[in-house]
Amino acid sequence: MSSNKADLQGSAEMSGVLGSPTGLLSPDDVAAARASAQGLLNGLDTALFGQGPLTRLVLVACLARGHVLLEGAPGLGKTELVKALARLLGLGWRRVQFTPDLLPGDVTGGPVLEEQPGGGRALVFHPGPVFTHVLLADEINRASPKTQAALLEAMAERRVSALGETRSLPEPFYVLATQNPIELEGTYPLPEAQLDRFLFKLEVANPDRASLERLIVERRGGAGPQLDAAIEVAGLHALFAAVGRVHLPRPVANWIARLVEASHPGAATAPEPIRRYVRAGLSPRAAIAIVEAARAHALLAGKPGVGFDDVRALAAPTFGHRLVLDYRARLDGIAARDLVAALLAEVPELDGARR
C-alpha cells in the first residue's frame, strides 16, 4: 500500500511542479469559489438569454485569464456579453471597431508630440484602447495583419512596447474579439499563429425561440440590464488563486499529452481523419491552454481537480481553431469540431486502454 501511495504521490509531486505546489483546495474553499463564479455566471446569463454554454465558456476563459474569439453574425449580443462581463467583474472595458484602415497605434496608442507646460515639446505616450481590463475587438478580421499583430502581441505579452519603452497592460487583461463569418470580402483572416493566442474560439449561435421571446419582452429598445459588480477585485484574484490550486491528475495530463500528440498527422497514434484532413496539429501552447481552462472549468463544477470530463468539454473550443486544416477538409465539408470529435473518440483516456 505504501508503494502504491508513493506511486500516486509521485505523480502528484510532478503535478505540483506543474503549478499546484500546495495541497488540494478544501471542500469549503471550492464551494466558496464556486459560489463566486456562479454569481458571475448568473449575471452573464441575465445579460444574454439562451446562451448558457457560451456564457459558461466565457467565464471559464475569464477565470483562466485567457482571450476569447467570438464568431457569429452581427446582432447576437457579443458586445452586450463583453459589457456585462466587465461590469460583473467590476473592471473597465473598451471597444475597438476594427476596420481596414485601423493602424497599430490606434490600438496600442503611441507617442504624440506635445507642448510641455514649461515650454518645449516632447513625445508623450498616449495609451491606446488596449490599456484596459476588458477589450472588445470588434470584427478583428477586418483590420490589416499589421494591426492584428499589434493587438495579438499585446494579448500574448500583456504589455506594449513603444519608442523603446515597455508598458504593462492592466491586470487582469482580456481580449474578447469578434469576427463575422459571413461577410468575408475585404477581411484578413487571422493567421494560425495568431489564432493560437486565443484560449477559446466560440461560436455565438442564434438564440432559440423562447430566449428570443424573452429578449423582446424584457429588453425594450435593446437596452441591456443594469448589472452591478458581482465580485470585488480581491475576490477575483482569490478566484484566480483557487483556479491555480486546482489539481491536475497525472492520468488526465497524460491524456491531454496524447491528444495533442495524436493531433499531428504524422503521429503514429493519429486517427485517420487527422491524417487525412489536418495539415498542422496542436502546439504545446494548446496543451497549456486546455489545462488552464480545465482547471477553471473544474472549479466552476465544484471539484478540486481536473477530470477527464473537463478536458472533453473544453476540447472543441480550445483545439478547434488551433488545428490547421487541409484543403481536402473544406472540399469534404469537414469542420474542425468534427476532427476534434474524432480525436476524442480515437484517443482513449487510459494509456493502452487496459481493462
Partner 1 sequence: MADHSPDPTHLAHVEARITRWRRRVWAAAFAREAGQATAFALVAAGAGALIARAVWGASASQAVWLAILVVPALAVAFVRARKSLPSRAETAAAIDLAAGGNGILLAALERADGRWGERAGREARAAGDLTPDLGGGRWLGAAAAACFVLLALSVPLGAERIDASHSERLGGFAERLSEQIAALAESGALNSAESQAMLERLESLQSGFEDFGIEASMEAVDRLFEELAHKADEQAFLAQSVLDRVESGARDMLEQALADADPAAIAEGARKIAAALEKAAQALGESSASTPALAAQAKALAEALGASMSLAQAGQLLDLAEGLREQLEARLGRLAAAGLLDGARLERLASAPGARAAFERLAEAARKHKSESKPCAVCAARERGERCPPGAKCEGGSCSHGVGLAELGAIAAEGAASGGTGRGPGDAPLTFAGESKHRAEEFGLEALGRIGIDDPEAALERWRVEAEAEAVGEAVGADGVRGAAGDGTGRRRMSPRHRAALEAYNQDRAGSQDSH
Q: Which residues of the chain form contacts with partner 1 (CB under 8 A)?
A: 1, 4-5, 7-9, 11-12, 15, 23-24, 26-28, 31, 247, 249-252, 298, 301, 303-310, 312, 349-351, 354-355
| Shortest Cβ 289–partner 1 spacing (Å) | 18
Strand pairing class (159-162; 134-138): unpaired
Smallest gap, in angstroms, from Cβ of residue 287 to partner 1?
17
How many Cα atoms sit within 13 Å of 208 on the Cβ side?
4
Least distance from C-beta 95 to partner 1, angstroms?
38
Give me the least distance between CB of 20 and partner 1, in Å please. Answer: 9
Q: Is the peptide bond before 74 cis (omega within 30 degrees of 0)?
A: no
Residue whose CB is less far from partner 1, 21 or 100: 21
Nearer to partner 1, 227 or 301 (CB): 301
Q: Between 262 and 336, whose beta carbon lies closer to partner 1?
A: 262
Contact 136, 160 (CB under 8 A): no
Of residues 82 and 242, the one with the C-beta less far from partner 1: 242
Least distance from partner 1 to the Cβ atom of residue 232, Å: 22
Nearest CB to partner 1, comparing residues 304 and 320: 304
C-beta of 304: minimal distance to partner 1 in Å? 5
CB 279 within 8 A of CB 326: yes
Closest separation in Å from C-beta 348 to partner 1: 9
Nearer to partner 1, 152 or 306 (CB): 306
Task: For partner 1, give the closer residue by CB, 209 or 354.
Answer: 354
**Please, which residue, 35 or 124, has the CB nearer to partner 1?**
35
Kindly list the distances between the CA atom of residue 13 and the CA atoms of 44, 180, 353, in Å, as whole numbers in the listed order: 37, 45, 24
CB 257 to partner 1: min, Å: 14
R_g over Cα of the chain: 22
Please, what is the minimum distance in Å from the beta carbon of residue 312 to partner 1?
7
103/301 with CB nearer partner 1: 301
Q: Helix/strand/coil (H, E, C) string of the chain? A: CHHHHHHHHHHHHHHHHCCCCCCCCCHHHHHHHHHHHHHHHHHHHHHCCCCHHHHHHHHHHHHCCCEEEEECCCCCCHHHHHHHHHHHHCCCEEEEECCCCCCHHHHHEEEEEEECCCCCEEEEEEECCCCCCEEEEECHHHCCHHHHHHHHHHHHHCEEEECCEEEECCCCCEEEEEECCCCCCCCCCCCHHHHCCEEEEEECCCCCHHHHHHHHHHCHHHCCCCCCCCCCHHHHHHHHHHHHCCECCHHHHHHHHHHHHHCCCCCCCCCHHHHHHEEECCCHHHHHHHHHHHHHHHHHCCCCECCHHHHHHHHHHHHHHHCEECHHHHHCCCCHHHHHHHHHHHCCCCHHHCC
